[in-house]
C-alpha cells in the first residue's frame, strides 16, 4: 500500500494521479467537453474537495462510504453525495455553509443543464444527518470507488464499479481515513460494505437510500445516531 496523504492537497493529488480507466470519469482531473462549463471545471472541483476536507481535519468522527459518485452529484461538485443544488445554496433544507465556508461554484454546463443539478441521495443523506444533530464538520461523505463509472457512450449515467476498478483505486480510502485521524466508518450499501471488508474493516452496512431505500436508510441512521457516542468539540475547532 502506498504512503497515506498527509494533507488535503496531497490527497487530491493522489486522486488526480489515478490511472485512466475506460468509462470512468475522474472529477478532479478530467474535463467533459460536452457537459462541463469550462476547462477550469476539474480545477474547481479539486479546490472544492480540498476546502471540504480542510474544514474537517480535526473534527471528523464519522465517514459514510457509499458505492461510487453519481453523475448528478460528485461528477460536477467533486464532493461525494453532494449536489450542485446544495453547493450553490439553492437547496431548501441543506445550506451551502454546511459543506463549504462559502458558496460553491457550478461546473456543469448551463447549456446542457439550465438549472443546476439536484440528486436524491445527496438530499436524503445531508438532510437526515443534519436533522439528527450531527454538526456538518463531524462527518465526511465518500465512496468505495472514488471516480464516476458510467455506461459506455453515456457520461451522464451511473453503473456499479467492477472488482478490477476497485482494486486499482484501493489505496484511496485508507489514505482518506488516515488523513482524517481514523474516524468511525459506516458503509452505505453492500458494495461499500464489501470494499471495506477487503480493507480489514468489517462493519455492517446501512441501506443505501436509492431505489426505494430512503426510509430504511433514515431508520437505520437514526438508530445508529442514538448509539453513537457524542463528545464536545473545543470551541476553537467548531465551524459554522
In this predicted model, what pLDDT tens digit does every residue of 187-238 receive, in sequence order?
Answer: 999 888 987 887 777 888 888 888 788 899 888 888 877 777 665 444 444 4
119: confidence class by pLDDT, cuts 50, 70, 90: very high
Residues in a beta bridge with 156: none
pLDDT of residue 141: 97
* pLDDT at residue 231 in the model: 57
CA distance linking residue 76 with residue 70, whole number of Å: 9
Domains and CATH numbers, the chain: 8-227 (3.40.470.10)
Q: Is the dihedral of CA 89, 114, 42, 40 positive or negative?
A: negative
- CA separation for the pair 131, 127 (Å, rounded): 6
Q: What is the pTM of this model?
A: 0.91
pLDDT in tens, 40-62: 999 999 999 999 999 999 999 99
Amino acid at each position: 500500500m502506498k504512503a497515506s496523504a498527509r494533507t488535503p492537497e496531497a490527497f487530491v493529488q493522489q486522486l488526480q494521479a489515478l490511472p485512466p480507466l475506460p468509462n470512468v470519469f475522474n472529477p478532479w482531473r478530467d474535463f467533459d467537453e460536452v457537459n462541463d462549463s469550462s476547462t477550469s471545471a476539474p480545477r474547481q472541483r479539486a479546490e472544492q474537495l480540498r476546502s471540504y476536507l480542510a474544514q474537517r481535519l480535526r473534527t471528523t468522527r464519522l465517514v459514510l462510504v457509499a458505492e461510487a459518485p453519481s453523475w448528478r452529484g460528485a461528477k460536477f461538485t467533486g464532493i461525494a453525495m453532494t449536489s450542485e443544488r446544495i453547493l450553490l445554496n439553492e437547496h431548501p433544507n441543506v445550506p451551502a455553509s454546511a459543506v463549504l465556508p462559502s458558496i460553491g461554484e457550478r461546473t456543469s454546463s448551463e447549456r446542457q443543464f439550465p438549472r443546476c443539478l439536484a440528486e436524491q441521495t445527496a438530499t436524503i443523506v445531508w438532510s437526515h444527518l443534519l436533522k439528527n444533530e450531527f454538526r456538518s464538520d463531524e462527518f465526511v461523505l465518500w465512496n468505495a470507488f472514488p471516480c464516476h463509472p458510467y455506461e459506455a457512450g453515456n457520461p451522464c449515467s451511473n453503473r456499479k464499479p467492477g472488482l478490477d476498478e476497485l482494486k486499482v483505486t484501493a489505496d484511496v480510502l485508507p489514505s482518506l481515513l488516515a488523513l482524517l485521524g481514523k474516524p468511525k466508518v459506516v458503509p452505505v450499501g453492500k458494495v461499500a460494505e464489501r470494499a471495506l471488508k477487503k480493507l480489514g474493516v468489517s462493519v455492517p452496512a446501512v441501506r443505501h437510500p436509492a431505489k426505494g431505500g430512503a426510509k430504511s436508510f433514515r431508520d437505520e441512521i437514526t438508530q445508529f445516531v442514538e448509539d453513537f457516542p457524542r463528545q464536545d468539540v473545543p470551541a476553537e475547532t467548531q465551524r459554522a
